Chain A
Amino acid sequence: MRAGIATLVVAAWSSAASIQPSFSTRVEGVRVDVLVTDSSRKPVRGLTAADFSIRDNGVPQQVDVVSFGEVPLNVGLAFDLSESVAGARLDQLRSASKSLTSELLIADQSGLITFDEAVSLRCPLSLDRSCVDRALTAAEPTGETALVDGILAGLIAGESDVGRSLLMVFSDGLDTASFLEPERVLDIGRRSDVVAYPITTKGARPKFLEDLADVTGGRLHEVDRDQDLSSTFKAILDEFRQRYLITYTPKGVQKSGWHKLEVRVNRSGGRVKARPGYQG
């Protein structure tokens, strides 16, 4: 789930096919990205605004808009290209990324940030499907791993464009070079509209990546060291497409400070995955 006080652009939510929408309406609204699953963990579809209830710091709110699969996606990739990723793992990243971009819809954008000790934007968010492939083909893993700094860059760059932002992070999980403390980046994650799905190798499970998934409303995926990544990437994209985007205009709460969010779905057995709150 994702949320954030946004000076946001309501028109965007309903203009599914618009690649360069123009926005004229500005409201102080909150966006909340919600995954609803049934008892067998399958996404529940067909819900409307009436099916959701939301509390902001305990105060019931009126859900304005619920969108499902209508808003184009901004799929940001933040990949560890440090020395530990060289070899077969890099080949898997290349192959999985190519499969992923082939699954994007016409208005979806993709972009790529890589990090060793340096964090680099290899592909800005765009409709160019081949940029990620070209960048990863040319990439040569080297150096240490600035995972925390790389994720901060991914979270902020993910807000550079209006739309639903998914950040897929791949790393072997060991930060060896970042400047920022994890807590600083988690704090930004709480304020961000970006939903992060970290992917890491089993055994290297850093608490930071678990926390990142929690505060942004995403989910941590662990893969075996030699496991193909394509199916994981596709599963994440599929899950993200099954999420609902809820917007509401906060009423009866202070603007500043931490806002605890409670999102419920008025159907029995429905489970909600949503971020725990947002920073006003």
Chain B
Amino acid sequence: MRAIALAFLFATAAPPPPGDPIVVLRQWIDAVEAHAAGTVDAPLERVTAWSYTDYERMRPYVEALVEAPTDHNRARATRLSRLEAPERTAISDLRDAYLLTPRFDIFRHRAAVFHTDAAILGVTPLIVDAPLEPAPQGFDRAHPRQRVDVRTADGRVENFALANPNWDYARDMLDAVSPARRNAIVAPWYRAIGAYFASRDNLADALRHFEQAHAIVPDDPGVLFGEACFQETLGSPAVQNFASVTILPNGFTLVGVASPQTHFRRAETLLTRALSAQPDFVDARLRLGRVLAAQHQYEKSLPHFSRVIAETRDPVLTYYAHLFAADASLALDRASEARASYERALATHPNAQAARIGLAAALRAGGDRAAAVDAVMATLTIPPQTRDSDDEPWWEYYKGDAANVERLLQELRAPFSDPAK
């Protein structure tokens, strides 16, 4: 299931008058402090039981507590400006009572991981009917609107879902982290969650995620790589074909999907920056070659693939490098070079369909019909029930950084797996 963002579409009722948000805020702090990262425990469930309206109502209180900055963030400034003076005082008192100030960044970090767990483990998106009324021009802050994501499968609209507010909360926490700690705390979170969104085909949240990453960790190679993968996915046939034929309700457009060339250019820029900061970043080099080829710069792409092959022992990266080099050679009308590269790709993944079909194309382009038939039959005759997804890395290519997601999430949660610490 792939999620693609629509703009602010779904009007929600204005938040009800706060009962006692300071009491709820205290409960929230307790939950954050008591949660064991990576588990679904009672503290987590207390917060994930909140309604969408509760999340909306409590957001300025939480932002005020952690002193989230309002520079360049008008929406947050507007939210915080609605807090009354007694509420500000009560929030300040809570900060003192919990001795947050001396350990502020650790608490913010813990709270970000808490809401990350809430998003991943605790809350399933609320499925809503297709929105029928277009949003009015502009964003009316007096009547907040939930972002709605369109969820697709195999190029068709499956349903619409409200965006998960826990991601906003987690980003709020990280916005507040002091600049000196951003490399240690914020950048790993943006890389890990970018990989998580890639693993779930969640393009809608990834869009907002990387927009914010630009502002807060603009030069981290891992985050740049994650965004480049995201841009490459937006340029892929799956997303482009969907965007080109899908008819949405009147007045709505998909957010963030531009032409494939635009996305590939963006990816190229991001990968070039990542490699400039970390020249031995082999994954980034592979993708740079691929997005150059996607822009028909085949000749320019080939040295990148050669360098990846020389620098990595990872069989999947090696497979990709040979596969993409072969495709570039075929595009350059060098059928024999393409054939050799496809055969090298098959040496690492003998049952890979993409390499086998590519080899058939190269052989046919070279005029050898019989060999082309043999090559294609070798993959066509694998019984569907015996196919293993590990046989074909290509099927996972557009999941970008997702191969690392479990490790990255584990690293994020590790400091907070014990609530007593």
A residues at B contact (CB < 8 Å): 82-84, 113, 117-121, 143-145, 149, 152-153, 156-157, 159-160, 172-181, 183-185, 187-188, 191-192, 203-204, 206
Contact = CB atoms under 8 A, between A and B. Distances in A.
A224 to B, nearest CB: 15
Given A184-B327, A187-B365, 12 more contacts: A84-B153, A119-B353, A144-B154, A152-B360, A157-B380, A159-B369, A174-B245, A176-B154, A179-B357, A180-B357, A184-B331, A188-B361
B57 to A, nearest CB: 39
Contacts of B360: 152-153, 156
Given A149-B357, A152-B361, A178 B237 contact: yes
B interface, by DSSP: helix, strand, loop or mixed?
helix
B338 to A, nearest CB: 10
A169 to B, nearest CB: 15
Given A119-B380, A144-B154, A185 B237 contact: no
A185 B384 contact: no
B369 A117 contact: no
26 contacts: A82-B154, A118-B353, A119-B353, A120-B384, A121-B380, A144-B154, A144-B155, A145-B154, A153-B360, A153-B380, A156-B373, A157-B373, A157-B376, A175-B237, A175-B241, A176-B237, A176-B238, A176-B241, A179-B327, A179-B394, A180-B357, A181-B327, A183-B331, A184-B331, A203-B245, A204-B245
A33 B279 CA distance: 55
Given A144-B238, A160-B373, A203-B245, A149 B365 contact: no
10 A-B pairs with least C-beta separation: A174-B155, A179-B354, A121-B380, A176-B238, A83-B154, A84-B154, A160-B373, A174-B241, A156-B376, A82-B154
A113 B155 contact: no
B156 interface: yes
A160 B323 CA distance: 25
Residue among A113, A149, A160, A188 with max Cβ neighbours from chain B (10 Å): A149
B265 interface: no
A109 to B, nearest CB: 15
B395 A117 contact: yes
Given A82-B154, A174-B245, A203-B245, A156 B237 contact: no
A interface, by DSSP: helix, strand, loop or mixed?
loop
Interface in B233-282: 237-238, 241-242, 245, 247
Contacts of A178: 237
A180 B381 CA distance: 19
Nearest to A6: B369
Nearest to B152: A176
Contacts of B387: 118
Interface of B: 153-156, 237-238, 241-242, 245, 247, 323, 327, 330-331, 353-354, 357-358, 360-361, 364-365, 369, 372-373, 376-377, 379-384, 387, 392, 394-395
A167 B382 CA distance: 21
Nearest to A191: B364
Contacts of B357: 119, 149, 152-153, 179-180
Contacts of A153: 357, 360, 376, 379-380
A243 to B, nearest CB: 22
Contacts of A117: 395
Given A118-B387, A181-B327, A184-B361, A157 B377 contact: yes
Contacts of B392: 118
Residue among A118, A156, A188 with max Cβ neighbours from chain B (10 Å): A156
Nearest to A5: B367
B358 A188 contact: no
A90 B323 CA distance: 33
Nearest to A86: B154
Contacts of B372: 156, 159
Contact of B153 (A83, A179, A188): A83
Contacts of A179: 323, 327, 353-354, 357-358, 394
B377 A121 contact: yes
A74 to B, nearest CB: 13
A185 B358 CA distance: 10
